[in-house]
Amino acid sequence: MWEDFKSFLIKENTFDLAIAVIIGGAFSKIVESLVSDLVMPVAGFVMGGVNLQFLSFSFRDVTIHYGAFLQAFVDFFIITFAIFMFLKIIFRMRGKSKKVKFKEETTDKILGDIRELLREQKQDNPPKDKESNRGNNPLIHFQSKRLK
């Protein structure tokens, strides 16, 4: 069991995943600080000096803090956009951004290829006679039982 675990750690890029999680956590803190300390105060100033983080409304005894949700949404947007840009740069550096073009084949071409394959099969294995060929086909065998 220990050998399986060791091979899993080595072969399955587990270390890469662990490093990515640690970097992601640190990056999340940076973006959270960026949003709460820079973006939201500037947005609040533009909107008339309102602190957007504390925006809320009350309905009976319940208070809904939609400002905190707005801040979390901005955090999420910035993080996902940064990851998108980072991956785009990485893939471009690796050369994976090239689009793969597939050769388009028409239906007639594909059917022609199938016809050729069937001809080759027929030439390689010609049927001996109808009775012996009949026993090998389960559909014909089923139909002949049904007709009796």
For residues 89 and 18, membership in a common domain is answered with yes
Task: Quick: pLDDT tens for 51-71.
Answer: 777 888 898 889 888 888 888
102 located within any domain = no
Identify whether the C-beta of residue 88 lies closer than 8 Å to the C-beta of residue 94.
no
pLDDT tens column, 37-46? 888 888 888 8
Q: Which two tokens stand for residue 27?
A: 């990056």
What token pair was written down for 83? Answer: 């990851």
The residue type of 41 is: P
Range(s) of the domain holding residue 122: 107-147
Where in the chain does DSSP place strands (E)?
57-59, 62-64
In total, how many domains does the chain have? Answer: 2
pTM of this prediction? Answer: 0.47
